[in-house]
Structure 1
Amino acid sequence: MSQLAIGQRTFTNPIKNSGPDPWVIQKDGWYYYMNTTGRNLTLWKTRNVAELSTAESKIIYTPPPGKAYSRDLWAPEIHFFNNRWYVYFSADSLNNLTHRVWVIENTSPDPMQGEWTMKGKIGDKGDHWEIDMSVVDFNGQLYAAWSGWEGPTNGRQDIYIARLKNPWTIDGDRVKLSQPDLPWERHGDVPQEWQKNGEVPKIYVNEGPEFLVHDNKLFLVYSANACWLDYCLGLLTYKGQGDLLDPANWTKSQQPVFTQSAENGVWAPGHGGFFRSADGKQDWMIYHANPSEKDGCGNKRAPHIQPFTWNADGSPNFGRPVAKTPMPVPSGS
């Protein structure tokens, strides 16, 4: 749990004792936060994201029973486009094979108020399996990125991108930008309870893509391997020219850009996002991590935040997961 020192402006990670798939957006000095609950969409609001464990929270949407989006609500993200709020979330009706992404909308200036309405499923023409969608406005055009597969039996999750007509409608076909093809992305042993007849199947994972924009440069930071293994972050970089939907216009970093830190007690870091401090002076990342190596994909995954910097070539430098010691809160909080 976050520990905010009385009379000081410091905190200690994690900022909340549980919170898989964390996401935060800062707008007008307020931080709006979400994470996977599985059952509903809960929103937190605070002036200081380091005080998240005591922040105001509200269940903003509970799906009706029996719908295609009633179960296994994962990885919700709140965004603000065209003076309206949108939440993107993955959900299913029966099991993981039916996971798709859904969008709700709120026209209130304060997303904790007003009414959230279902806009519908946001999917490609082939209605493929999809999870972990994030959306960005880049040079006046909306794009979505997510994790999907070519088929449920190929044992591989890939990163896809598409252009949007509006915040809830994909325009055209999906395009695959990345698949787990590098050695550090292919640590694919599945948990023992998934193994059958002594067989050890492999699942190779690229998921949780998050856009990052800096000085008109565009990046996609994604999670590789799996939450029950050595989850880590990879990086895709848009070359700066040409169609974003052409894979040739992206480069993939040959090594992970953020990995677990046994010495600091931070295991399997991944699936997060990026935000600016309230005064606009600092860049921060948020991610979930486990407190030990064997904690897997459950609710021990907790949100951590830390500042990051930029390399001389304009790429992000995330460093290493910081130790669980006091450090300054985001500036302007």
Structure 2
Amino acid sequence: MKRAETGAKRVWKPNLWLLLGWVLLFAQCGGSDEDPQVTPTPEASPTFTNPLIASGPDPWVFQQGDTYYYTHTLGNRIGLIKTKAISQLKDERFTTVWTPPATGAYSKNIWAPELHQIAGKWYFYFAADDGNDANHRMYVLENASADPTTGTWEFKGKIATPSDKWAIDGSVLEHQGQQYFVWSGWEGDNSPGIQQIYIARMANPWTLEGERVMITRPTLNWEMNGLVNEGPQALKNSAGKLFLTYSASGCWTDSYALGRLTLRDNGNPLNPDDWMKSPTPVLATKAENNAFGPGHNGFFKSPDGTEDWIIYHANSARDQGCGNTRNPRIQKFTWNADGTPNFGEPAKTNVPITRPSGEVQ
């Protein structure tokens, strides 16, 4: 029994010293309950700032549930960004989905591409020419894949009415089950001509039916600095009332601004008299907010569907014109008591804005 007790004591004493040594070593190394080498991952910011990226003329967003597809004028190709967070474009990169041929009628100056989904297929509408602006026309690509950043884009051809005049900024408008094509064009063949907004019925996604109808042209003082109406975009309120925003005056001026048409109740989109023009711009230059020439817009909803948002481009300084200094901005908008949209004023740059409701963070 004594041997056993003595042996037990000899084993226990070294363990006490070993334990004390570890405690002293741990203290000398700055040990604590937390590992000093682990840096907590910062939480994603609940806000964003405009502009979303430094350059992005003619921005466009197509929303499919909580997934967004973004594009803008790249000039020499068409690219897409697929994202769950449109406010975080700075973290994304384009996937080139189509490159034009080296020569030919639609080889140069690829402007204002728009992505639409019609009857389960994807369509890109874009303006292009052969290097001569007077030859600008609208063209269509088709993709049958589920994801437009994958699959094959097939060139479907030019989309035009029989008169086949200069055309840019094409978009698709759906009203009461019928699809229409709206775009900006010249009345004649003069270069450059006064830009007007035209509409035509669509027989299918790449074919127009009948001749074009002019529904607005520059007539008001704020539209006359460059004689331009372009960039038409459809918008409906919760009651189904149809509006059409457009950009007016020249993009090379700081007078560039958004206007609005409203279709009369029970009106016919092909009847110019059924469209009522707002007498003042609905989004205009705000110098103190670093927003010059806001225009060429689109619309989308927050991921959870509770908020309405507008995307548009603007310059951050005076007299920057129509170049790549134009950058994309987004802001939430509301609705007036009469059902018309209220875009407010352009949001100030570099000021935190709460991200769209339900956006992944």
Q: Which amino acid aligns with 2:214?
A: K
Which residue of 1 is the match for residue 235 of structure 2? 212
Which residue of 2 is the match for residue 65 of structure 1? 102
Offset of residue 247 of structure 1: 0.7
Which residue of 2 is the match for residue 159 of structure 1? 197
Q: Does 1:331 align with 2:357?
A: yes
Residue segments in structure 1 that go unaligned for 5+ positions in a row: 189-203
Q: Percent identity?
A: 51
Q: Structure 1 residues 293, 6: CA separation in 2 closer, same or farther (over 3 Å shift)?
A: farther
Q: How far, CA to CA, are the matches of 2:140 and 2:229 in structure 1?
A: 22
Structure with the higher fraction of residues in strand conformation: 1
Greater mean deviation of Cα atoms: 213-222 or 48-57: 48-57
Q: TM-score, normalised by structure 1?
A: 0.92
The aligned runs of 1:11-22 (5 Å cut-off) are 11-22=48-59
Q: CA RMSD in A?
A: 1.2
Q: How far, CA to CA, are the matches of 1:81 and 1:186 in structure 2?
A: 35
Aligned with 2:212 (options 150, 158, 174) = 174
Q: Contact between 1:283 and 1:308, CA under 8 Å: does it hold in 2?
A: yes
Q: How far, CA to CA, are the matches of 1:311 and 1:331 in structure 2?
A: 21
Which residue of 2 is the match for residue 312 of structure 1? 337
Q: How far, CA to CA, are the matches of 2:124 and 2:193 in structure 1?
A: 29
Residue segments in structure 2 that go unaligned for 5+ positions in a row: 1-41
Offset of residue 226 of structure 1: 1.2
The aligned runs of 1:188-199 (5 Å cut-off) are 188=226
Offset of residue 36 of structure 1: 0.3
Aligned with 1:228 (options 252, 269, 281) = 252
Q: Structure 1 residues 269, 6: CA separation in 2 closer, same or farther (over 3 Å shift)?
A: farther
Aligned with 1:321 (options 346, 352, 361) = 346
Q: How far, CA to CA, are the matches of 1:254 and 1:56 in structure 2?
A: 40
**Residue-by-residue CA offset, 1:78-108 (whole Å, 9 max, x unaligned):** 0111011111000001311000000001111
Structure with the higher fraction of residues in helix conformation: 2
Q: Contact between 1:34 and 1:76, CA under 8 Å: does it hold in 2?
A: yes
Larger Rg: 2
Q: How far, CA to CA, are the matches of 1:6 and 1:120 in structure 2?
A: 48
Q: How far, CA to CA, are the matches of 1:119 and 1:126 in structure 2?
A: 19
Q: How far, CA to CA, are the matches of 1:25 and 1:153 in structure 2?
A: 32
Which residue of 1 is the match for residue 139 of structure 2? 102
Q: How far, CA to CA, are the matches of 1:90 and 1:317 in structure 2?
A: 30
Q: Does 1:256 align with 2:275?
A: no
Q: How far, CA to CA, are the matches of 2:283 and 2:176 in structure 1?
A: 28
Q: Does 1:296 align with 2:321?
A: yes
Offset of residue 6 of structure 1: 4.8
Q: Contact between 1:133 and 1:208, CA under 8 Å: does it hold in 2?
A: yes
Q: How far, CA to CA, are the matches of 1:318 and 1:168 in structure 2?
A: 32
Q: TM-score, normalised by structure 2?
A: 0.85
Offset of residue 240 of structure 1: 2.2
**Residue-by-residue CA offset, 1:186-229 (whole Å, 9 max, x unaligned):** 123xxxxxxxxxxxxxxx10011111112211111000001111
**4+ runs of 1 displaced by more than 3 Å?**
none
Q: Contact between 2:134 and 2:191, CA under 8 Å: does it hold in 1?
A: no
Aligned with 2:171 (options 118, 124, 134) = 134
Offset of residue 8 of structure 1: 2.2
Q: How far, CA to CA, are the matches of 1:59 and 1:154 in structure 2?
A: 31
Which residue of 2 is the match for residue 268 of structure 1? 293
Aligned with 1:281 (options 306, 309, 313) = 306
Which residue of 2 is the match for residue 147 of structure 1? 184
Offset of residue 244 of structure 1: 1.2
Which residue of 1 is the match for residue 126 of structure 2? 89
